[in-house]
Structure 1
């Protein structure tokens, strides 16, 4: 799993450690790590204090890859912050998308209802047409039958 971390020097142990700040949940989805989580780098590793890094951890918590996060942060700034994409903007867009979704759902339900009504009317018309055809074929029991031929 990939994490954003900051390098700190542990004065007591006299070695550097990574304080995990955020975890990548899915592509472009990160969550802040609220509690302090630390990984020791070992005595042989020296890094700049407070450097931001991206760290890939194995399932057992071992460091698989460690890289400077400068380019990653600059990419975020360029892709999102330079175009005016702010948390408020994203929230507004999410609300607008939800409103559209609800509107489309209501329209879809209305279309489905209308379709059912049209189908029911079509069936009624077909039943009436069949009834009229049946009445034309059957002789009338009363004296003057409007459907009966004058020759009969």
Structure 2
């Protein structure tokens, strides 16, 4: 699983550790990790304190891969923030989508009601036709 983490120094152990900040749930969905979760790195000297990294963890919690998150963060800025996609914009879009969903639900309910009404009318017409058949047959017998 992929995480966004920040490199911290554990002064007590004199080693670096990763503080997990967010976890990737799906390709475009991340969740914030609210509790402080740390993974000890050891005496790695290629990372600097406060650096943001993407870390891939195995199902058992072992570090599989660490990479600098700068390029990833810049791509987020380029993709979303440059075009003005703000939390307010996303909220407005979500509200508009909900209004469309409600409108479509009402239209679907109306269509279902009309379908039921048409079916009831069709059954009434068939019933009326059935009741008129003996009268038609009787009228045809008189002409012969």
Given the superposition, is the C-alpha separation of residues 107 and 151 from structure 1 closer, same or farther in structure 2, using an over 3 Å criterion? closer
Per-residue CA shift, 1:57-100, capped at 9, x if unaligned? 11221100101111111111111111111111111111111111
CA distance in 1 between counterparts of 2:140 and 2:5 reads 95
Shift of 1:151: 5.3
The number of equivalent residue pairs is 144
Partner of 1:41: 41
Residue ranges of structure 2 left out of the alignment (5+ in a row): none
Cα distance in 1 for partners of 2:86, 2:136 equals 74
**CA distance in 2: counterparts of 1:119 and 1:107, whole angstroms:** 18
Q: Counterparts of 1:73-92 in structure 2 under 5 Å?
A: 73-92=73-92
CA RMSD of aligned residues (A): 1.7
Which structure has greater helix proportion?
Answer: 2
Larger radius of gyration: 1
Q: Find the aligned partners of 1:36 and 1:149 in 2 and give their Cα distance.
A: 94
Normalising by structure 1, we get a TM-score of 0.87
Q: Secondary structure at the residue paired with 2:36?
A: strand
Asked whether the equivalents of residues 4 and 52 of structure 1 are also in contact (C-alpha less than 8 Å), the reply is yes
CA contact (8 A) 1:53 1:68 kept: yes
- Residues 1:7 and 2:36 aligned together: no
Structure 1's unaligned 5+ residue stretches are 139-146
Residue of structure 2 equivalent to 1:144: none
* d(CA) in 2 for partners of 1:4, 1:132: 78
User: Structure 1 residues 129 and 70 mapped into 2: Cα distance closer, same or farther (>3 Å)?
Assistant: same
Q: Compared with structure 1, are the counterparts of its residues 136 and 151 closer, same or farther at alpha carbon in structure 2 (3 Å cutoff)?
A: closer
Deviation at 1:133, TM superposition (A): 2.3
1:143 maps to what in 2?
Answer: none
1:26 aligns with 2:44: no
In the alignment, the residues of structure 2 paired with residue 66 and residue 148 of structure 1 have an alpha-carbon distance, to the nearest angstrom, of 93
